[in-house]
Amino acid sequence: MKKLFLAAMLCIAFVSNAQTLGYNDIGVLFSKEKINGTARYNAMSGAFGALGGDLSAIETNPAGAAVFLNSEFAISLNMNNTETITNYYGNNEYSENDITSLSQAGGVFVFESYSRNSDWGKVALAFNYSIANDFETQWFARGNNNYPTWIDDPNDANIQYLNSDGQYFENFTEGRNDKYSFTFASELNNKMYLGASFSTYDIENLQRILLEEYNTDGQGNNLEASLIQELYTYGEGFSFNVGLISKATENMRLGLAYQSPVWYTLSEDYLDSDLEVYVSNTDELITDFSGYNAFDYKLRTPSKLTGSFSYIFEKKGLISIDYIYKNYSNIELDMAGNFGFIEENKAFNTDLEARGELRMGTEWRFDKLSIRGGYHFEKSPYKNALDSDAIEGFSLGAGYKFRGGKIDASYQKDTNTAAYNFYPQYNNINAAELDIDTSKFTVTLVLNI
């Protein structure tokens, strides 16, 4: 018991510097929604705010539900591949993750107006399920920063392990943010579409990290320290969305949509430390387990404003552009009225800023065949981010109409860099640099109702 207590006391510095995601990082992560919908939507990089007529498009602008000519049902399957190269003090490591999931399912019901005296035309009711964000990834880093943080022997105060033989860090995350949207939209004078939607969210995120240090005292004695931390965050949220699409001319459409903040009620289970320390001089393995802690809190994400433009070349094709504005400094954490998260909310204001996201897409029709492409660019919300931390990508796709429906396919490619600091309290230790490459293949089946 004495040895366990001594080991626990000596590991304080080691434990406090191996970090799962902090509340500020969680706030940013949960505020993001990926381009993740039908294959047609993905193929055009989500640039659908002034177009509508797609079940994923109505999550951008609910007015798009009234653009549908007929009732239909759609279901989509994603195959996602993520490749990560980590660089830690000159050493590169490669990891790859593959996941297949049902990424979208929904339907829209269109009702024609039979009133001759009303300015209102058809009415549309829609429901759509989508994965707003997925958190599936695993990567590891290996290198030597020549800075051991565990230097004391748990049993012998005269032995200090001041030399480093290297470090190993592994990060595993899983979970996703499921979004359920309910939409009502209508057409006015055949020139404008208006819509509103209400969305609920079901979010889960599990992160598990492993940090290992290999240190020596320079006289043949070795110390191997291994630490596991785990953070499981889960909860529910809701938001609303209103929008309009205007036919500026016969061929040109303009769109505007506002999505409210998402108000989340979250809970977490946190494992502070599962520790193992092996010392060679006594051939002894010392363990310590902190147990789990539970905590509840609330999160408010920033609102989102989307301005859109599209031009339709009769029945031949179209081009479309969306610009999305979101102020990440408006993220806020709350402890049900208590005075918690004061420093975290200050950090949102000082470290984050408003960012824009650009989406561009095009589609060209050849009888029953459609060819699509797109480009998207989203800067990191962190003020000190590198240019390469921006998410940049392209998309391609095709669709084929058949009697009673159509089938669509798309391919997306995104790249960005990121940094992860698993010794955040040591300014002289560099973060691991991540080079992330994501590919996604989507297939959608659309059936007319």
Q: For 95-152, what is each residue's pLDDT tens digit?
A: 999 999 999 999 999 998 766 677 888 999 999 999 999 999 999 999 999 999 888 8
pLDDT digits (tens, 9 = 90+) for 83-95: 999 999 999 999 9
In order of 178, 184, 197, 344, 391, the CA distances from 303 in angstroms are: 18, 20, 15, 19, 20
Q: What whole-number distance in Å separates Cα of residue 433 and Cα of residue 430?
A: 9
Q: What whole-number distance in Å separates Cα of residue 172 and Cα of residue 276?
A: 19
Which CATH number among 1.25.40.10, 2.40.160.60, 3.50.50.60, 1.10.230.10 corresponds to the domain 2-448?
Answer: 2.40.160.60
Mean pLDDT along residues 333-358: 88
Task: Give residue 14's pLDDT.
Answer: 54
pLDDT surpasses 60 at 254: yes
Contact predicate 396/375, CB 8 Å:
no
Mean pLDDT along residues 242-249: 96
Integer-rounded Cα radius of gyration of the chain: 26
pLDDT surpasses 50 at 324: yes
pLDDT surpasses 50 at 9: no
Task: Give residue 16's pLDDT.
Answer: 52
Q: Which of 1-10, 226-235, 413-422 has the lowest mean pLDDT?
A: 1-10
In order of 50, 102, 105, 128, 255, the CA distances from 108 in angstroms are: 18, 18, 11, 8, 20
Task: Give residue 274's pLDDT.
Answer: 83
Helix, strand, or coil (residue 42): helix
- Mean pLDDT value across the chain: 92
Helix, strand, or coil (residue 66): helix
Q: 128 has which bridge partners? A: 106, 181
The CA angle 412-415-421, to the nearest 5 degrees, is 140
Contact predicate 390/381, CB 8 Å:
no
pLDDT surpasses 60 at 367: yes
